[in-house]
Amino acid sequence: MYLTPEEEGMLNGDEGLGVQYAMQALAKFGDAVQAEKMVPIRQAHASYSAWFIAREPGLEWLRNLVDLGAKARVPLTSQCAQFDLEDYDLLQADPDIVENQKALSNAHLQLGSVGIWSCSPYVIGNQPMFGSHMASVESSAVPIYNGIFGARTIRNVGQGAILAAICGRTPYFDMHVTENRRANVLVNVEAELDPTSEVDYTLLGYWTGEQIGNRNPCFNTLRFMFNSLYRTLRAAMATAGAPSIFHIPGLTPEAKTIADAFQNDKPEFTITFTEDDKKATQEKLNTATETDGKIDFVDLGCPHYDYSDLMRLAAMVDGKKMHKDVFFSVWTSRATRQICESTGCLNVLKRAGINVLCDACPVQDHGPRFYGKTGITNSGKQAGYAWDISHAKVFVSNMKDCVKAGIQGHMEV
């Protein structure tokens, strides 16, 4: 691949051993994917931040980069850790894993990462400009960066995003190239979607992911009342499929119209989401329908909630109390929780018996503890993982039903 004189200098060690290591790895990767050149990036978001994924080899790799003097040269944020880094007692985390997680988190910080430990980095400052290039991980965040912000990123692995942040560059291929961003499947939304209920959007997302694999969908018409609706749509789509971008004409910056989304070409095919598809998807994700309805947990905040989501939840639970046998958790970033604390929203949630947790993902934290139990969530992504990882049975419904079930201790089946 072509490298500029500055990039050649990096490769040859002009900017130190850490940059040399990172550029050598990126150049090899670029050659492997037949990228013609590197492209400068403005920011990055990297995983490899949860102990159960990185483990000893990951920690050693990160420490080696630190020892070589590597440091991010563009703003870099961190994906989820394994558990809430302050409330790990509440979550009964294994003390050895707590120490390992702290060491891993520390290595990320030493590389210059901003420790947001969140899968919704765009909510808390990592917001790219339209048309800018970046290197992001996270199957739910990448399509939001591409499809909602109009930034350009591939679905990186954690190490790739870290190396790109160290060099300020990434190979120019895939989503960085305009032609590859073209929509190729038209999604005709025929079913009625309640714009105040996230469950309809999560069902649409899950169903679409199953149909398209890694193709680029364009939705013919969608209305969103809350930001979390397109987040839950996107997250569910990434669970059942693997698209890097989605187009919503009028919302996606580069697609004012359907013709823009398809770059004036024709769709490879059209799919139609009907009422029957909606019902069938809900039945598939509702793995708890055969139970007596009693629930052990409620999980909200997948992807991590923003402040407006927490405000909506606080308004629903103000003055109410969750059932004593139900572990009700809502996941967000620490920065968002601090905002909630300053406005009193956090107190309302705590008084209702809700655990507002940060820094991690319910799947990573609850996996072992919820093994074989029953719960409710409003996220299709969480529903898929709860079954795959913990064999937990879940109901999938909207936030209002989650709150009602949390108070009653059971879901009406």
By CB under 6 A, residue 209 contacts ligand F3S: no
User: Which CB sits closer to ligand F3S, 205 or 362?
Assistant: 362
Query: Least distance to ligand F3S from the beta carbon of 214, Å?
Result: 18
Convert 342-376 to b/e letters by CB count within 10 Å (16 or more is b).
Answer: eeebbebbeebbbbbbbbbbbbbbbbeebeebbbb
For residue 255, what are the contacts with CB-CB under 8 A and spacing of at least 6?
A: 183, 218, 247, 248, 249, 261
User: Which CB sits closer to ligand F3S, 374 or 382?
Assistant: 382
By CB under 6 A, residue 337 contacts ligand F3S: no
- Backbone angles phi and psi of 301, in degrees to 5: 95, 35
d(CA 79, CA 122): 11
Q: Which of residues 80-119 bind ligand F3S (CB under 6 A)?
A: 80, 119
Q: Which of residues 147-166 bind ligand F3S (CB under 6 A)?
A: none
Contact assessment for residue 4 and residue 52, using Cβ atoms and an 8 Å cutoff: no
Q: Which of 26, 385, 386, 396 binds ligand F3S (CB under 6 A)?
A: 385
Query: Least distance to ligand F3S from the beta carbon of 120, Å?
Result: 7
User: Which CB sits closer to ligand F3S, 261 or 357?
Assistant: 357
For residue 82, what are the contacts with CB-CB under 8 A and spacing of at least 6?
A: 50, 51, 52, 93, 97, 101, 360, 364, 365
Contact assessment for residue 150 and residue 6, using Cβ atoms and an 8 Å cutoff: no
By CB under 6 A, residue 235 contacts ligand F3S: yes
d(CA 387, CA 237): 17
d(CA 15, CA 26): 15
Q: Which of 117, 219, 305, 331 binds ligand F3S (CB under 6 A)?
A: 331
Contact assessment for residue 181 and residue 153, using Cβ atoms and an 8 Å cutoff: no
Using CB atoms within 10 A of its CB, is residue 276 exposed (0-12), middle (13-18) or buried (19+)? exposed
Three-state DSSP at 294 gives strand
By CB under 6 A, residue 54 contacts ligand F3S: no
Which part of the chain contacts ligand F3S (CB under 6 A), choosing from 55-63, 196-204, 275-283, 357-365?
A: 357-365
Minimal CB distance to ligand F3S: which residue?
Answer: 361
Which part of the chain contacts ligand F3S (CB under 6 A), choosing from 153-161, 366-374, 379-387, 397-405?
A: 379-387
By CB under 6 A, residue 363 contacts ligand F3S: yes
Q: Which of 74, 186, 361, 376 binds ligand F3S (CB under 6 A)?
A: 361
Query: Least distance to ligand F3S from the beta carbon of 362, Å?
Result: 6
Residue ranges binding ligand F3S (CB under 6 A): 80, 119, 140, 235, 302-304, 331, 361-363, 381-382, 385
